[in-house]
Amino acid sequence: MTPGLVSVVIPAYNRAALLLQAVDSVLAQSYAAHEVLIVDDGSTDGTREAVASRFGSNPKVRYFHQTNAGVSAARNRGLREAGGEFVAFLDSDDAWLPGKLDAQVAVLRALAQAGMVWSDMRAVDDAGKVLHERYLRIMYHAYRYFPKPSGLFSRESTLADAGVPAGGLPGDTRVFTGDIFGPMVLGNLVHTSTVLLRRSRREQVGFFDEAYRTGEDYKFHLHTCRAGPVAFIDAPTILYRVGREDALSSAKNLLPIARNYLATLETTLREDRKAITLPAELLDRCLAETHAWVGSEYLAAGQKAKGREHLLKSLKIRPTRATFALLAKSFAPDSVVRAVRARRAARRAGAPDGREE
């Protein structure tokens, strides 16, 4: 481990052009990263050649190729290669805004107990048009339980308090710190491309679960929060592209995301209940909503028997009219089910963990 230095892990799969933009955004940071670790997960679109052409003479940019094994395996390869005191993650279709590393390194320096810091994000389309200046609370469903950051964290400060250099994010930007393991059980609150992780915390947590090809972030970040306090910068530090068909949170991936979240939730409730400082009623509601979500995704995939199984489990835990209605509609023709799902998707406004109230 090299003190003070940041290793940046970028998994890549068939996004050569966007990958180059992602790397450029790292190299443009005023706080210089120690190394950029590109892990090519079996791309066939000329990613290797593009990286060599643009960054071949830059010793900071290290390229690794592996047979396609999924984003978790790619991130884990990068984590094993990382030599810095801090590790940052960046997906190949995202990009960092100026001042990200300055702010986050300063926060982790100032808050010695915090093992991770993340932030909000700015949502853009493929043309770069800003769709949402603040997207974190739109994308991640669990924030509805906590309308304000002060409801999640025990301490508030500012970037100025952390000694962030002038010229980046404003000094009065709020920074929140605390133990949020309980709230994280209700759903993911952390977007991976915004994260800076202390190496010592990563070593406590381990690696991404390679059995998860999508929805892998939640389990990793939940374990990170279980290991101790974390911090949040209440400002966007990345550009997040929305609406791409190849995104891991796209509609085609919603069933495995839902199933993986349910598996993580049930394991956590079974093995770590004493550490969760939330009312039993709230946890029951979360579990019921998750079964309903999984059930709706099974129905959408044409697997009605599995869908009804989860809807019935949801109703047994916490009966709601919405779940009863979905169960009843599961006996309707497929065209009706698809239409209902389309209306639900519109109401979710693009959230990848599409449970509804």
Task: Give the pLDDT band of residue 250 (cuts 50, 70, 90).
Answer: low
Task: Give the pLDDT band of residue 349 (cuts 50, 70, 90).
Answer: very low
Q: How many CA atoms lie within 13 A of 272 on its CB side?
A: 18
pLDDT surpasses 50 at 352: no
Distance of alpha carbon 211 from alpha carbon 150, whole angstroms: 35
- What mean pLDDT, rounded, does the chain reach? 91
Query: pTM of this prediction?
Result: 0.89
pLDDT surpasses 90 at 14: yes
pLDDT surpasses 90 at 354: no
Position 336 scores a pLDDT of: 67
Position 291 scores a pLDDT of: 97
Position 347 scores a pLDDT of: 58
263 contacts: CB under 8 Å, gap ≥ 6? none
pLDDT surpasses 80 at 245: no
Distance of alpha carbon 49 from alpha carbon 204, whole angstroms: 36
Position 165 scores a pLDDT of: 82
Domains along the chain? 2-241 (3.90.550.10), 251-348 (1.25.40)
Look at residues 107, 106, 75, 70 and name the one whose alpha carbon lies nearest to residue 88: 75
> In the block, which residue shows the tokens 């950029």?
36
- pLDDT mean over 307-332: 95
pLDDT digits (tens, 9 = 90+) for 157-193: 999 999 998 778 999 999 999 999 999 999 999 999 9
Task: Give the pLDDT band of residue 272 (cuts 50, 70, 90).
Answer: very high
Q: Checking DSSP bridges between strand 230-241 and strand 116-124, what pairing results, if any?
A: parallel
pLDDT digits (tens, 9 = 90+) for 64-82: 999 999 999 999 999 999 9
Mapping DSSP onto H, E and C, the string for the chain reads CEEEEEEEEEEECCCHHHHHHHHHHHHCCCCCCCEEEEEECCCCCCHHHHHHHHHCCCCCEEEEECCCCCHHHHHHHHHHHCCEEEEEECCCCCEECCCHHHHHHHHHHHCCCCCEEEEEEEEECCCCCEEECCCHHHHCHHHHHCCCHHHCCCEEEEHHHHCCCCCCCCCCCEEEEECCHHHHHCCCCCCHHHCEEEHHHHHHHCCCCCCCCCCHHHHHHHHHHHCCCEEEEEEEEEEEECCCCCCCCCHHHHHHHHHHHHHHHHHHHHHCHHHCCCCHHHHHHHHHHHHHHHHHHHHHCCCHHHHHHHHHHHHHHCCCHHHHHHHHHCCCCHHHHHHHHHHHHHHHCCCCCCCCC
pLDDT digits (tens, 9 = 90+) for 188-236: 999 999 999 999 999 999 999 998 878 789 999 999 999 999 999 999 9
Position 15 scores a pLDDT of: 95
Which position has the higher pLDDT, 351 or 226? Answer: 226
- pLDDT mean over 242-251: 62
> In the block, which residue shows the tokens 């003070």?
4
